Structures are given as structure tokens and as C-alpha cells.
Amino acid sequence: MARYDVIVIGSGPGGYVCAIRCAQLGLKTAVVEGRETLGGTCLNVGCIPSKALLHATHMLHEAEHNFAEMGLKGKSPSVDWKQMLAYKEKTIGQNTSGIEFLFKKNKIDWLKGWGSIPAPGKVTVGDETHEAKNIVIASGSEATSLPGVEIDEKVVVTSTGALELGKVPKTMVVIGAGVIGLELGSVYARLGSQVTVVEYLDHVTPGMDAEVSRTFQKLLKKQGLEFILSAAVQKVEATKTKAKVTYAPRDGGDAVVIDADTVLVATGRKPYTDGLNLDTLGVEITERGQIKTDARYATNVPGIYAIGDCIAGPMLAHKAEDEGMACAEGLAGQSPHVNYGVIPGVIYTHPEVANVGETEETLKAAGRAYKTGKFSFMGNGRAKANFAADGFVKILADQTTDRILGAHIIGPMAGDLIHEICVAMEFGAAAEDVARTCHAHPTYSEAVREAALACGDGPIHS
Ligand code: NAI
């Protein structure tokens, strides 16, 4: 049995990135993973498969709505659901086998099975116990449900079941207008399902800039999604083929029942730490079930670290990756740092939605003086040519210093455009720095520059 410098439990974006960085820094590393393939939730049943379905259904939407006007005539494509799922599976396979290749390349051992920590310095996988100087828990998260709602992953599904439905449902109720509900809701709306989203709050996408949230809801409504806001789902009764969803309007009034072929429960996720033996070890856990860590990702038990969805902070793959790298670098004696003020968030619908840093709401609440530079994609030539002129870029900058405090984009490729602002923020840039940077024409990125110009003397194309 090998003695390792580091054993990482979990091979999602947090765990596998941590392991690769550990190996690159000369640490003898193993990863424990019980799934058949590496990559965790993100690669197997999350980010990657959902993006395959979002891409395929966006192509369908383009064919149905914009091809004819571009002079692309002929029969619109019909949906072969089995083939679409096969394409999704192939995409997953390419990515998970890519991680396996990287493990071999970096001489990382894959300990196959579910891990447990009998004592600090020891990890049990099946009948074997392995020794490690340090253990990194990267066990991720799992979907939560609501009282009165039983998940069967056939009719009442989480995101996992929604990625492999037997057929495209005629009607779908989505509980929760968060990231998962809106991404998968828009996939099925494009495939022809009648999608109704029931949300407890009076707006979609909690925590997002309010103006973006309103615009986003309006655009999704135009795509056929129905919204019932300020409504608390009380129960879901399901048979083998159908379900009844009961919700109560929050402002009072009678409960309402809606029928659906499929119910997607997308009301959040919680840390997954089952079977790790954390209670016996005395690892401190918050009341929200998150493992408590310090700035170096150390738990209160020496030699045990934790990163990603099972600790505090947004449940995002890229946040977990950054923590994985920083944790590895710390174990190798370096002094890493993750800047939690500059972690972008992206919703991969069409249009995409992306944000980083402060919102107008957080700035107002903090009493900070700020200015807003906004530019609509209607003024962007490339967006108009590509039928992608819905949305805008909004940059928030300090009223006095012009330093960029946050940015919010709804529009084409928003998830890529946001990174220009992330880099600017990491360098402490002013909006004027972005405004004075030459941007290629014609690109969507020009809209970011115009929003930066709008923080100063004004944009050119509006
Ligand atoms: P979420 O926390 O984003 O949204 C859940 C929504 O459900 C909230 O709006 C909440 O008000 C609503 N809700 C809760 N109880 C309800 C009830 N009884 N009736 C009606 N509505 C109710 O959670 P979501 O979408 O499940 O995502 C989970 C996690 O996964 C999030 O942390 C998200 O950031 C992450 N994720 C990120 C993705 C991305 O970055 N593109 C993609 C998918 C997931």
C-alpha cells in the first residue's frame, strides 16, 4: 500500500484540479472516486451535459426562428430525442476520459470506491485503508427537496433526472427560478414543452442585479416560459406518469393546483458529506451543513482540508477549482489567495447572463457612491447581424475613483465577455482603463467598452 502526501476525496472540478496541482508541485497524490467515471456532478450530471442540451436546443431555436430570414430555407429540423441524449452522453464521455488521461499523465492514482476517514491520516476505500499526510475533502453537494415533495427521478426530478427524461414532456413545472430551473426550463421550452416556473420570491434569480433579473424574466417569457412568482409550493402528488403541484400565493388566497407530466425541483443544493465519518472525527460543521475551514481550507482537525461545494461560498465549479488550486499550493508550502470578490456567475441560457462583483442593490445597502455605465446590444453591429441584440452591459464604478466595482451582462456570449471585467477588477482597473483599450470591430466585446465609456463621457453608439 502506497503512502501518499495527499489523498483527495471526490473528483469533481474542486477535487481533480486540486489533485493535478498537487502532483504538478511534486506531491504524491491519489483521488478517491466512487462513480464509474471521474469529474463529479459537473462533468457527469451537471454543467457539461446541461451545456450540450442547451447548445443543441439553441441550434433548434435558431433554425426555427432565424434561418429563413438569413436565406437558409428548407425543412426545419425535427427532434430525435434519443440522438440528442446520445450526443450529450458522448460529450460527457469525452470530458470524463480527458480527466482520466490527465490523472495518468500526472501519475495520480484513482482509488475507486467511496472513501471514509477512520482517523486523521487514513482513508478507507472498500476493504483497503490508505495513508496520507493530508486529506482534502472535495465531496461536493446534492440537490435539496421540499417537505411534501418526493423525488423519484422519473416524474418528479432533480437536475440529474431532467438530463435523461424518457421523452420530452408536454408540460413541465419547474419549482424554483434559480440557475438550474431557468437553464433546464429553457431547454425544454425550446423542445416544445409548456414550461411553468413557480418561484417563492417576487423575482427570478435571487441575488442578481434587479434590472438584469427583470430583463431576463421578460426575455424568457418571450421564449414561452410562464412564471408564477410569490408562490410557495406546498406539495407534489405524483403517479407513474403525471403529477399535481399545489402552491399557495404568498400574499394570501386559495391554494392552486397545476398538472404536469414532469416536475423539476430546483430549489437549491446542500453539501454532501455522507459516509465520511466527520462526526466521529469531530470536524466542525456549520448549521447549514458546510464544513468549516480557515483561509487555507484547513478544518479544525489537523491534516484534514475541505474545498468546493461542501464548504461556504457559492456552489460554482470554478470557485471549487480555484480553491482546489489554492489548497494544493498551500500544502506545497506556497502562499496562495482566492479573491472571493471577483468570482463570476454565469447562466447559460440564451441570451446568457453573467455577473461579477457588486450589484446596485449591494452598493446601495452599503451606502457607497457609484456610477453606472450601460450599453444596449441594440447598438452593437455584430449582435444585430447575429439576431442577438437583446440585452445590455452594465458596469458599476466608484463615483470618485472610477474603479470598477461590478459588472452585469445579459446578452450574447455574456459568460465569455464578463472575463474582461474580471481581469480588470483583479488589476484594480478604472472604467476608463477599459474604455481606452482598443477593442476589435465588429465584436460583442465592443459593448463592454461602450459600457465603460458610458461611465465617463458617454458611449459612441447610443
Ligand atoms: P438556487 O438557489 O439558484 O435557486 C433556488 C430557487 O428556488 C430560489 O429562487 C428559491 O427562492 C426557490 N424556492 C425555494 N423554495 C421554494 C418553494 N417552496 N416554492 C417555490 N420556489 C422555491 O438553486 P438551484 O437553481 O437549484 O441551483 C443550485 C446550485 O447550483 C446553485 O448554487 C447554483 O449556483 C449552482 N448551479 C450553477 C450553475 C451555473 O453556474 N451555470 C448551473 C447549475 C447550478
Per-residue pLDDT tens for 400-452?
999 999 999 999 999 999 999 999 999 999 999 999 999 999 999 999 999 99
Distance, CA 1 to ligand 1 centroid (Å)? 42
Q: Is the minimum distance from the CB of 352 to ligand 1 under 6 angstroms?
A: no
Q: 201 and 222 in one domain?
A: yes
pLDDT of 1 above 70:
no
Residue 171 is assigned to a structural domain of this protein: yes
Q: Is the minimum distance from the CB of 269 to ligand 1 under 6 angstroms?
A: yes
Q: Which atom of ligand 1 is nearest to the CA of 309?
A: 32
Q: 14 and 116 in one domain?
A: yes
Q: 163 and 42 in one domain?
A: no
Q: 379 and 321 in one domain?
A: no
Range of the domain at 213: 156-267
> Tell me, what's the pLDDT at 191?
98
Q: Read off φ and ψ for residue 425, nearest 5 degrees.
A: -65, -40
Give yes or no: 441 in active site.
yes
CATH at residue 129: 3.50.50.60
Among 238, 267, 296, identify where a domain stops. 267
Looking at the 3D structure of the chain, how many domains does it have? 3
- For residue 21, CA distances in Å to 112, 135, 317 come to 20, 14, 16
Q: 173 and 110 in one domain?
A: no
What number of residues does the chain have? Answer: 462
Q: Is the minimum distance from the CB of 304 to ligand 1 under 6 angstroms?
A: no
> Computed from CA positions of residues 16, 265, 216, 405, in that sequence, does the dihedral angle turn out positive or negative?
negative
- Other beta carbons within 10 Å of 147: 7
Could you read off the pLDDT of 355-375 as tens digits, one per residue? 999 999 999 999 999 999 999
Q: Which atom of ligand 1 is nearest to the CA of 314?
A: 32
Among 252, 267, 282, identify where a domain stops. 267
Which member of 65, 130, 318, 441 is catalytic?
Answer: 441
Angle between helices 414-426 and 445-454 (to 10 degrees): 50
Give Rg (Cα) of the chain: 23
What mean pLDDT is predicted for residues 153-164? 98
User: Which residue from 44, 53, 180 has its CB within 8 A of the most atoms of ligand 1, so it is best to mutate?
Assistant: 180
In contact, 290 and 311? CB cutoff 8 Å: yes
Nearest to 387 by CA among 53, 61, 51, 55: 61
Q: Is the minimum distance from the CB of 99 to ligand 1 under 6 angstroms?
A: no
Could you read off the pLDDT of 116-129 as tens digits, one per residue? 999 999 999 999 99
Please name the helix (run of DSSP H) or strand (run of DSSP E) that holds residue 217, with its range, or none: helix 210-222
Q: Is the minimum distance from the CB of 309 to ligand 1 under 6 angstroms?
A: no
Q: 86 and 233 in one domain?
A: no
Q: 218 and 182 in one domain?
A: yes
In contact, 55 and 111? CB cutoff 8 Å: no
Q: What one-letter code names the amino acid at 219?
A: L
Cross-strand partners of 352 = 411
CATH at residue 390: 3.30.390.30
Among 229, 246, 267, identify where a domain stops. 267
Q: 93 and 54 in one domain?
A: yes
pLDDT of 2 above 80:
no
Across the chain, mean pLDDT equals: 97
> Tell me, what's the pLDDT at 458?
97
Q: Read off φ and ψ for residue 45, nearest 5 degrees.
A: -140, 25
Distance of CA 314 to the CA centre of its chain: 9
Round to whole Å and give the CA distance between 411 and 392: 6
Q: Is the minimum distance from the CB of 283 to ligand 1 under 6 angstroms?
A: no
Q: Is the minimum distance from the CB of 306 to ligand 1 under 6 angstroms?
A: no
> Tell me, what's the pLDDT at 76?
85
Distance, CA 213 to ligand 1 centroid (Å)? 14
- Other beta carbons within 10 Å of 300: 13
User: Which residue from 55, 179, 245 has its CB within 8 A of the most atoms of ligand 1, so it is best to mutate?
Assistant: 179
